[in-house]
Amino acid sequence: MPQHTFTVVIEQDEDGMFVATCPALQGCYTQGETYEQALANIREAIELHLEARRDLGEPIPREMGTATLTVTV
């Protein structure tokens, strides 16, 4: 099977939960009680998302790139 690499973002919300998203895959997000759990959950969510796209004959999106910016306010 082909491998795909995606950027994921994990943030901690106001309740202490870790929320994980995959920006390249619209609607692909999950959460966990720990960082590690959120990371494992987003991996599973991405796999399920890609399997659904494959089954529907939809293309797998490719990331255009990521950047880290520093701003002064």
CATH number at residue 30: 3.30.160.250
Predicted confidence (pLDDT) at residue 72 exceeds the cutoff of 90: yes
Residue 60's pLDDT is what?
A: 93
Domain assignment of residue 68, yes or no? no
Which residues neighbour 62 within 8 Å (Cβ) at sequence distance 6 or greater? 24
* pLDDT tens string 16-60: 999 999 999 999 999 999 999 999 999 999 999 999 999 999 999
The tokens of 47 are what? 């796999």
Domain assignment of residue 17, yes or no? yes
The total number of structural domains in the chain stands at 1
The tokens of 34 are what? 């720990």
pTM (2 decimals)?
0.88
Domain assignment of residue 19, yes or no? yes
CA distances 30 to 60, 62, 64, 72, Å, are 19, 20, 22, 31
Which range marks the domain in which residue 40 is found? 9-56
Residue 67's pLDDT is what?
A: 86
